[in-house]
Amino acid sequence: MYLSLKKKIFYIVFTLFVIMATLFLSIFIMIYAKKYSSDFDIVSNRNQYVMGLLHENITLQRQLNDIHIKVSPAVESDISNKQQQLSREAKINAELQKNFNEQSKAFFDGMKIIGISSLLSLVSILGLGLMLQRWVIVPIIKLTKATNQISKGDFSYRIEAQKNQHFFDEFDTLASTFNSMVSNIEHNVEEIKNSERFLQALIDAIPDGIRVIDREHNIVMSNKAYQKQFSNQKDALKCYEAYGFDKACPHGLFSCPLREIKDIKSNTISMIQNLDGRPLSVNAAPLKIVNDNGQNDFYIIESIRDLSDDIRFSHEQKIASLGFLATSVAHEMKNNLGSVRMILEAILENAQTSQSLSTKDIEYLKMVYDQVVASVIIPERLLSLSRNNPDKQEVFDVRCAIDDVLSLLDYEAKRNGITFQSQHKTAEANILGNISDFKMIILNLAQNAINAMPSGGNLMIMSSKNKNSVIIKIEDTGTGIDSAMLPHIFEPFYSKGQTTNRLQGTGLGLAIVKSLMEKYKGKIDVSSTLGKGTTFELIFPKAKA
């Protein structure tokens, strides 16, 4: 129970006053009141005795006066003695009564002195209380109020000094020292806040997500990039809550950098995590800080990069390379093929006019001419593939786009002994989106299939549709993918998902495919058997009429 100092002092002084008054009255009563009572009893008894003698004397006088008998001298002498004794007793009784009255007056005077002394003591105590209130209680209340404000974080609060103060005591010195201490604390806190703001601004300037984790999985610090990456779990206090777990990340699903660094005692560790379909590259390192006790506080600092941007950059880089290639090829082929076409046109015109060539030769020249004209279309297809306008949405037929891509890969396929087959089960299969993105999806999957068949094989692309979707299947008869590697093939830079017979690439092809499928709001499934081949199934939302 809280009891203020003011009340404590009042209760103590009041209790002491009551005890002293009670003790004083007890002693006074024990000494004076007892003697007063004894004297009162003596006087009372003497008065009764005297009154008895007086009554006896009066009775005798009346009897003598009534009988008018002359008594003997002995009787008269006895009566005279009684009268003298009565006179003496009366004088003694008068003196006792006088002494008793004086003692009674002294007793009541003592009581008055006690009352006045008590009143003066009470006034003195009240005066002392007021002085304690002014010189002790008020400064302590001010100091208590100041400490409460400081405990709430208000370091601008100060204890006000009295104006025109000529005398100073210990409390004034304490108030001045307290104000100086608070000023120093305020200055140091402001410096710490400035350092924290600088540190926060420093890590916020880093484009990758940064977070610091202690040994209890608590997120001690993070930057804006991390909060943006994990915006759905921005209130997470534990590191594993950012990935949707209510306890430490389970083995097999997620690799815990904190656990890995503790177990293998490595200086750095790198891994790829997947969050809601987004590939994240995580680099972690231990951070040891010596605390006040001279012990090392263990932390780890994680750098998290969203590889979706790298995938997008790789896709754009590939598109740019194709654009450069298409421009160069188109320029060279158009010039050369244009010249060949003009020569063939002149030869055909002369042959038909002069009839210097046989009909068979003319047919052969026309076939060559048709092939040259068809070859001029190839750079146009390359240019259409390289023109990447992500904002351009159009309805297109997937069959034509597939045929365009296969025509570009025809030479590479024939060189590797690969046969192309395309089956379209419907008259049309239209989807809405960016046609360049769709061609890039088919190109990546077809190139992967060609790389998976180094000794030749068959590549079949089939298209069909149902009520809501357009379905495309790409089947190859290549080396296949191991089932243990299959869940990771869409992760960026994961080229080990391909078998050793496949050509090792950058590991971004299938990641780009998945990213573009998400852009189409489509779905991609894969099934594979080692030694028999792989099948990719692409499901696109069908374009509305």
Lowest mean pLDDT among 300-304, 455-459, 482-486, 491-495: 491-495
- Two tokens, residue 403: 């045929």
Answer whether 475's CB lies under 8 Å from 459's CB: yes
Token pair 């997947």: residue: 274
Residue 252 has pLDDT above 60, yes or no: no
Answer whether 243's CB lies under 8 Å from 275's CB: yes
Highest mean pLDDT, choosing among 252-256, 313-317, 478-482: 478-482
> What is the C-alpha R_g of the chain?
59
Residue 495 has pLDDT above 60, yes or no: no
Please report the pLDDT score of residue 470 as a whole number.
92
Please report the pLDDT score of residue 526 as a whole number.
92
More confident residue, 416 or 56: 416
**Which listed CATH number (3.40.309.10, 3.60.15.10, 3.40.50.300, 3.30.450.20) goes with 206-306?**
3.30.450.20
The edge-to-edge listing of strands for the beta sheet with 523-529 is 418-424, 457-465, 469-476, 533-541, 523-529
Answer whether 249's CB lies under 8 Å from 243's CB: yes
Highest mean pLDDT, choosing among 42-56, 483-497, 512-526: 512-526
Please report the pLDDT score of residue 376 as a whole number.
66
Q: What is the rounded distance in angstroms from the CA atom of residue 385 to the CA atom of residue 376?
A: 15
Q: What is the rounded distance in angstroms from the CA atom of residue 248 to the CA atom of residue 232?
A: 19
Lowest mean pLDDT among 280-284, 389-393, 439-443, 448-452: 389-393
Answer whether 219's CB lies under 8 Å from 213's CB: yes
Neighbours of 213 (CB within 10 A): 24
Secondary element (H or E) of residue 148: helix 138-151
Token pair 């010596």: residue: 290
Residue 496 carries which DSSP code? G
Distances (CA, A) of 295 to 263, 288, 290, 292: 20, 9, 5, 7
Mean pLDDT on 9-15 = 75
Residue 507 has pLDDT above 70, yes or no: no
Please report the pLDDT score of residue 497 as a whole number.
38
Q: Give me the long-range contacts of 124-127 (CB less than 8 A, separation at least 24).
A: 125/13, 125/14, 125/17
Residue 529 carries which DSSP code? E
Q: What is the rounded distance in angstroms from the CA atom of residue 210 to the CA atom of residue 328?
A: 43
Mean pLDDT on 279-283 = 78
Q: What is the rounded distance in angstroms from the CA atom of residue 303 to the CA atom of residue 278?
A: 16
User: For residue 449, which of 417, 495, 480, 485 has the smallest C-alpha distance?
Assistant: 480
Q: What is the tens place of the pLDDT at every residue in 189-203? A: 889 889 888 988 888
Please report the pLDDT score of residue 216 as a whole number.
83
| Average per-residue pLDDT for the chain | 76
More confident residue, 454 or 9: 454
Residue 270 C-beta-side C-alpha neighbours within 13 Å: 3
Lowest mean pLDDT among 70-84, 280-294, 349-363, 462-476: 70-84
Token pair 């001298």: residue: 73
Mean pLDDT on 437-466 = 89
Highest mean pLDDT, choosing among 91-95, 190-194, 231-235: 190-194
Mean pLDDT on 521-526 = 90
Fold agreement (206-306, 393-545): no
Beta strands at 457-465 and 418-424: parallel, antiparallel or unpaired: parallel
Mean pLDDT on 384-410 = 75
Please report the pLDDT score of residue 458 as a whole number.
92
Token pair 């792989």: residue: 534
Distances (CA, A) of 140 to 1, 143, 176, 181: 19, 5, 13, 17
CATH code given to domain 393-545: 3.30.565.10
DSSP labels, 77-93: HHHHHHHHHHHHHHHHH
- Two tokens, residue 497: 């998902």
Token pair 């421009």: residue: 327
Please report the pLDDT score of residue 175 as a whole number.
85
Please report the pLDDT score of residue 350 as a whole number.
80
Domain ranges of the chain: 5-150, 206-306, 307-388, 393-545
Confidence of residue 503 (pLDDT cuts 50, 70, 90): very low
In percent, how much of the chain has pLDDT > 70?
68
Hey, which residues does 540 pair with through a beta bridge? 470
* SS3 sequence of 164-207: CCCCCCHHHHHHHHHHHHHHHHHHHHHHHHHHHHHHHHHHHCCC
Neighbours of 91 (CB within 10 A): 10
More confident residue, 431 or 345: 431
User: For residue 520, which of 466, 485, 488, 472 has the smallest C-alpha distance?
Assistant: 472
Confidence of residue 352 (pLDDT cuts 50, 70, 90): confident
Confidence of residue 459 (pLDDT cuts 50, 70, 90): very high
More confident residue, 197 or 488: 197
Secondary element (H or E) of residue 442: helix 435-451
More confident residue, 120 or 34: 120
Please report the pLDDT score of residue 500 as a whole number.
36
Predicted model pTM: 0.42
Confidence of residue 326 (pLDDT cuts 50, 70, 90): low
Neighbours of 181 (CB within 10 A): 11
Which residues are CB-contacts of 49 (< 8 A; sequence separation ≥ 6)?
89
Residue 29 carries which DSSP code? I
Please report the pLDDT score of residue 539 as a whole number.
93
Please report the pLDDT score of residue 472 as a whole number.
93
